[in-house]
Amino acid sequence: MIHLEQLSYTYPDADRPALSAVTLDIAEGEFVLVAGASGAGKSTLLRCLNGLVPHFSGGALGGRINVAGYDPVAAGPHILSRVVGFVFQDPEAQFVLDQVEDEIAFALENAAVPPAEMRLRVEEVLHLLDLTALRDRSPEALSGGEKQRVAIAAALALRPRILMLDEPTSQLDPQSAEEVLHALVRLNQDLGLTVILVEQRLERVLPYIDRLIYLPTDAPVISGPPREVLRQIPLTPPLITLGKALGWEPLPLTIKEGRAFARQAALSAEVRVCPPDPGEEALRVDTLSFAYNGAAALNEVSLSVGDGELVALMGRNGSGKTTLLKCIVGLLRPGQGDVRLSGQSLKGQTTAEICRKVGYLPQTPDDLLFADTVADELSVTLRNHGLLGRPPIGVSDLLTRLGLEGQRTRYPRDLSVGQRQRVALGAITVTRPRLLLLDEPTRGLDYQAKRDLVRLLREWQAEGTAILLVTHDVELVAEAAERVVLLSGGQIVADATPQVLASSPLFAPQIARLFPSHRWLTVDDALSALCPEAPAPHET
Amino acid sequence: MLDARVWLLWALSLLLIASYARNPLYGIVLLLTTLVVGSVCAPDREGPRMPLSPLRFALIAIPLAALFNALTVRLGETVLLQLPTWLPLVGGPVTGEGLVFGATNGLILTVIFSSFAVFNRVIPVRDLIKLTPRAFHESGVVLSIALTFIPQTTRSLQRIREAQAVRGHRVRGLRDWLPIIVPLLVSGLERAIGLAEAMVARGYGAVADAGQPVRNQLFLALGLLALLGGWLGYLFMPAQRGIAAGFALAGAVLLVAVLWLAGRSTVHSVYRQRRWRVQDTLALGGCTLALAVALTQRGALYYAPYPRLAWPAFDPLIGLGLLGLLLPAFLPLDEEERL
């Protein structure tokens, strides 16, 4: 179906190739996952397959590509659009029209498909992706998972034989991501559609795939059945890490496969549940309520975060997590209730005043970046607060801690996702806040960048910084949080140690699903209980 | 749903009538008409494309226009107060007549705004694309995308302002807009590139790649030349008006023909082809009636409060005629035909 031979590609003005000497074969009907650290060329590889590279991007391409008998370089993306459907990361950025049905028909209209045929095909994909009930809605108003399903339907309308998706679930909460993945699995199994998926969180996809392609930054591509490839690569989800460490054979890919091993391995070992020991109260939220134009978003929310404590705030999209953070920093004014910082009420203070003491990282860190260099980005914040003459923390020290000392004079927007996020983190922590509010900091990060972030948070915690973390990432919570607050419909439904996640059908991390009768959450928990002498698989 | 062309005529009729009407009573009739039609016909589309509701527009436009007119126009006998004459521009008497005339202008502006707001809300983007001539299909798509870009940009502006606010940023002077403008432009550009990629990957523009034949381009240039030359001749050479008009007409015919030819050669099909229906004819009739009344009774539509304020005349028959524009609100809306 797809055959690549010695494919190399260099973007215009880039000093090193994005892809070098990639040789690959993908058979018809395979479900393929493309993995690799960010910047390894995953998106570039997909774009080579439908001709967007080099037709859209320019640059120098070498080697041979064959996709279903076409040469994308010679034929161009227009011709390839009949063979390859493409779905992008941000569902919103790909919509043209304002009704689901029209959006799906758009590609057909442009391909001059006769109306009767068009009607049939639109109906077909609406059914395939379970969108019939949403046909007259505006894509803008749908949930994240629904939007992405519309995007898939629109890509399928031309009846391509290959469907390619570039991180389609990175912006979605776990439930919506599940919904999208199930749709893909059905398409692959029922229609025999070849699916090629780029995804950061391997654990979500591993159970379904036939082939795993790993793109290292500077080594030949590894491609093959998932078990074989997983043995050779560093990025591994908790289940695989544990399986490797305990020598489980064949390596389990699903929780179900893993449980068979777990039953034999599990002893009566109980994990330590260290009772959280919060320091002085850093943040106290008291019966806070907020409504958007009369629609209640937060209802009498009360919580506290101690000095040096990391509290995770979880809940589905729209449960009020971001609203709560905005109320704390004064971007939204709560209708009722009070926010206290180290005992002092924040009432009547401006956002600028509050943010000298509180660091708030918004969901899209790119929104912060505008300066010419990384160092400037930090000094702008200092200047805003009138602290330029007497910075509470040295700009160089902070950059070193963030691992950005080499990027000091670079243009922030040229950096990788993980680095850009650390620049944004620097821009909000240069005032040395005692409280950090982070809104989904791991979105779009690869395993390495995530590990770096956890290490950074640990360091700040050790210095007594209180951290309130909004996230969908259960594995992150299992690893880093002392306490979890679950928000649902604007109300707090749980406030407990992360062990509360173990029994939650929505939020349980992989290890908890594997050992349901124990209270383990992370690979380290399980390993230290099962074989205390084994070295930790990775340092965090 | 009515035909997009009927809606276009509806909006244009309102525009034309409003440009004649200075009688506040007819103005109110027109405004109410647009409001009723808007609330009945605009389906519950999520995310309105208009940032301002007509009523809010009225609250701003009417007082502003009244004030401006009252301060700058010296006509009228009902003097409300006397501003010192040494004041530049605004010095002199402020009259009730000026105030009323200004407010009427504000009302008419509101009518125009409101009719466009309704048009914008009732017409889905796909019908906007269909309103453009086939030869311009691609440009029509681009234009309609630009429309959907506006609310997205508004949202990112809000997001970026918040992001900058949490690092202590305050907008005091012009320079302080930099941290907001830069991310806004960059994110807009990134979104545009992403959308362009997505559209190409879905085969947009695939069949139109052939390009327009040279013959068409030549005829297009000739047509434009003839039209322009004829028009200039008509304006500046009174003796040869007949010939000039002929030239302009020939140019116009040539242009239409070229567009028609070019339209035939762009290949694309239409998903929801709808038939012309009785409701369309009725609504068309309503618009025509209102237009006919307005064009024949131009004098009656006009009202000037000067020199002395008097109650404006109101002819119920004219009012009734204008209500023809209300017809779209009363036509039964049946389930849309999809083919």
Q: In this model, does residue A457 exceed pLDDT 80?
A: yes
Q: In this model, does residue A522 exceed pLDDT 70?
A: yes
State the pLDDT at residue B207.
52
Domains in chain B: boundaries: 4-210+276-330, 214-265
Calculate the CA dihedral of residues B107, B113, B119, B121 and round it to 10 degrees.
-110
Give me the mean pLDDT over the A529-538 stretch: 60
Within 8 A of B169 by CB-CB distance, chain A residues are 352, 384
Q: Is residue A530 part of a domain?
A: no
- Higher-confidence residue of A538 and B221: namely B221
Number of domains in chain A: 2
Contact across the interface for A98 and B338, Cβ inside 8 Å: no
Residue A5's pLDDT band, with cuts at 50, 70 and 90, is: very high
Per residue in B163-174, pLDDT (tens digit) is: 999 888 888 877
Which residues are within 8 A (CB) of A488 and not within 5 positions of it... i.e. 6 or more apart?
A315, A316, A319
State the pLDDT at residue A177.
86
Same domain, A452 and A311: yes
Per residue in B26-56, pLDDT (tens digit) is: 999 999 999 999 888 876 554 445 557 888 8
Of B65, B59, B63, B13, the C-alpha closest to B34 is B13
Same domain, A308 and A227: no
Q: In this model, does residue A120 exceed pLDDT 50?
A: yes
The domain spanning residue A367 has which CATH number? 3.40.50.300
Which residues are within 8 A (CB) of B185 and not within 5 positions of it... i.e. 6 or more apart?
none
Question: Minimal Cα distance from A113: which residue of B?
Answer: B269
Which residues are within 8 A (CB) of B226 and not within 5 positions of it... i.e. 6 or more apart?
B247, B248, B250, B251, B254
Per residue in B104-119, pLDDT (tens digit) is: 999 999 999 999 888 8
State the pLDDT at residue A93.
79
Is any Cβ of chain B less than 8 angstroms from the Cβ of A267?
no
Q: Is residue A155 part of a domain?
A: yes
State the pLDDT at residue B142.
78
Question: Minimal Cα distance from A331: which residue of B?
Answer: B162
- Higher-confidence residue of B50 and B281: namely B281
Mean pLDDT of the residues in chain B:
83
State the pLDDT at residue B25.
92
Within 8 A of A81 by CB-CB distance, chain B residues are 200-203, 206
Cα A310 to Cα A321: distance, rounded to the nearest angstrom? 16
Q: Is residue A268 part of a domain?
A: no
* A337: exposed, middle or buried (Cβ count in 10 Å: 0-12, 13-18, 19+): middle
Same domain, A129 and A227: yes
Q: Is residue A263 part of a domain?
A: no
Structure tokens at B184: 């806004």
Q: Is residue A258 part of a domain?
A: no
State the pLDDT at residue B45.
53
Give me the mean pLDDT over the A409-437 stretch: 90
Shortest CA gap A211–chain B (Å): 24
Residue B265's pLDDT band, with cuts at 50, 70 and 90, is: low
Same domain, A230 and A298: no
Q: Is residue A273 part of a domain?
A: no
Within 8 A of A115 by CB-CB distance, chain B residues are 269-271, 273, 339
Contact across the interface for A109 and B148, Cβ inside 8 Å: no
Q: Are B6 and B296 in contact (CB under 8 A)?
A: no
Per residue in A135-150, pLDDT (tens digit) is: 988 888 888 888 999 9
Same domain, A73 and A220: yes
State the pLDDT at residue A101.
92
Per residue in A343-380, pLDDT (tens digit) is: 899 988 999 999 999 999 998 888 888 889 999 999 99
Within 8 A of A78 by CB-CB distance, chain B residues are 200, 203, 205-206, 209
Residue type, A197: L
Structural domain that includes position A215: 2-235
A84-93, A416-425, B256-265, B310-319: the lowest-pLDDT one? B256-265
Same domain, A183 and A103: yes
Same domain, A210 and A357: no
Q: In this model, does residue B337 exceed pLDDT 60?
A: no
Same domain, A89 and A155: yes
Same domain, A363 and A419: yes
Same domain, A147 and A295: no
Within 8 A of A158 by CB-CB distance, chain B residues are 202-203
Residue A218's pLDDT band, with cuts at 50, 70 and 90, is: confident
Q: Is residue A252 part of a domain?
A: no
Cα A498 to Cα A201: distance, rounded to the nearest angstrom? 21
Shortest CA gap A506–chain B (Å): 29
Residue B209's pLDDT band, with cuts at 50, 70 and 90, is: very low
Give me the mean pLDDT over the A440-459 stretch: 88
Residue A34's pLDDT band, with cuts at 50, 70 and 90, is: very high
Which residues are within 8 A (CB) of B48 and not within 5 positions of it... i.e. 6 or more apart?
B121
Is any Cβ of chain B less than 8 angstroms from the Cβ of A428?
yes
Residue with tokens 């208009």: B50
Question: Minimal Cα distance from A107: which residue of B?
Answer: B202
Q: In this model, does residue A533 exceed pLDDT 60?
A: no
Tell me which of A11, A50, A108, A109 to substitute to probe the interface with B (most B C-beta atoms closer than 10 Å): A109
Q: Is residue A445 part of a domain?
A: yes
Tell me which of B166, B268, B270, B339 to substitute to probe the interface with A (most A C-beta atoms closer than 10 Å): B166
